[in-house]
Structures are given as C-alpha cells and as structure tokens.
Amino acid sequence: MIPFKEMPLHSRVWIYQSIREFSENEITQLKNKAEGFISEWTSHGKTMNACIEIFHSRFIIVCVDEKRSSASGCGIDKSVKFIQQLESDFGGNTSLLDRMNVAYRKNAHLNNEVGQGEIISCPISELKNLFTSPEGRTGITVFNNLVNTKAALEQNWEVPLEKSWQYEKFV
C-alpha cells in the first residue's frame, strides 16, 4: 500500500466518518483490513494505485491516483462494499456511511489555528443550533467530507463554521 503522504495531490479521495473515535485496537484492525483490501482492489481488472488512511481516530480516507488507475463504477462499488463490511465488523456500534452526521471541532479558536480542539460528531440538524451560539461563529471548525481530491483535503477539509457549506445551507 502506498503511504498517503506519497499520493499525488490530484488523487481522488472519499471520506467516511465514524460517529465515534476508534480505539487503538480497532485502528490496528482497520489498518490490517485496509491493507488486505488495497492489495486486491481492482477496477476493470486493473490494480488500483491507492491507499486507505485513518485520520483523527475517526475518519477513514480512501485515496486513488486516478491518473494511474481510474476508479470506475465497479471499483467504487467494491470500496463502498468494503466500508459496509467494516460497519458490519464493528457490530453496528459505528456508522461510516451516514452523510447526515457531521463532525466539528469545538474550541478551535483557543490556539487560533485550525486543527486544534476536541472533535465531536452530531446529526446535521444539531449543527444548526451552533449557528446561534456565541462560540459558533468563532470557536468551531467543520469537516467538509465532500472534498474530492487530496489537494482539497489538505486545503479545505476543515474550515471555520461560517465558511462551511453547512452554514451557507442553513443561514
């Protein structure tokens, strides 16, 4: 498996967010299963130039260099089935495919930089309540799991709440 940091910036990404943090034991299991999946992952008979990485003990990110191997419909279907199998393997105590859950960071403003503070998952409907809270406009960053390239992931994955698509949708 190619290390995530070596994947080119144009690589396509899919982000699967858990509703909770994974334990260290679960992360070890996830990494082992990911390596097995990546080693056998094909699309139209071609091996994928890909990796799977776990971020913040909560996000599973699938990354494919599509200039070397295109992730066609059948290849994408295989990756979704892999994620569904992971959900099943965890006995239903996590969800990875529910796009109505969002993750945000509280108190991101304490260090005046994105990437600091506790990560919390909640239904998108609960996120609306943060828009009116005093800390909502300055103390919260939101994970944009809709980014679709490694470059976008590195630049726009975590954004201040007031610059997020969620804020634009509900305000």
> Mean pLDDT across the stretch 65-83?
85
In a domain? residue 96 = no
Final residue before a domain boundary, out of 58, 89, 120:
89
Binned at pLDDT 50, 70 and 90, residue 113 comes out as low
Residue 136 has pLDDT above 60, yes or no: no
Final residue before a domain boundary, out of 59, 89, 119:
89
**Averaged pLDDT of the chain:** 85
**Across 15-19, 74-78, 120-124, which has the greatest mean pLDDT?**
15-19
**Are 69 and 43 spatial neighbours (Cβ–Cβ below 8 Å)?**
yes
- Beta strand extents in 20-165 (DSSP E only): 42-43, 46-47, 50-55, 59-64, 101-106, 119-123, 140-143, 158-160
| Domain of residue 59, residue span | 4-89
The amino acid present at 129, given as its one-letter code, is N
Q: What single string gives the DSSP state of each residue in 12-37?
A: EEEEEE-SSPPPHHHHHHHHHHHHHH
Strand partners for 101: 123
- Percentage of the chain with pLDDT > 70? 88
Distance in angstroms (rounded) separating the CA atoms of residues 61 and 150? 10
What is residue 74's predicted lDDT score, i.e. its pLDDT? 80
Final residue before a domain boundary, out of 67, 89, 111:
89
In a domain? residue 158 = yes
- Range in 7-21, 40-54, 98-112 the model is least confident about: 98-112
**Are 69 and 48 spatial neighbours (Cβ–Cβ below 8 Å)?**
yes
Same domain (yes/no): 77, 146: no
Same domain (yes/no): 45, 14: yes
Distance in angstroms (rounded) separating the CA atoms of residues 107 and 154? 21
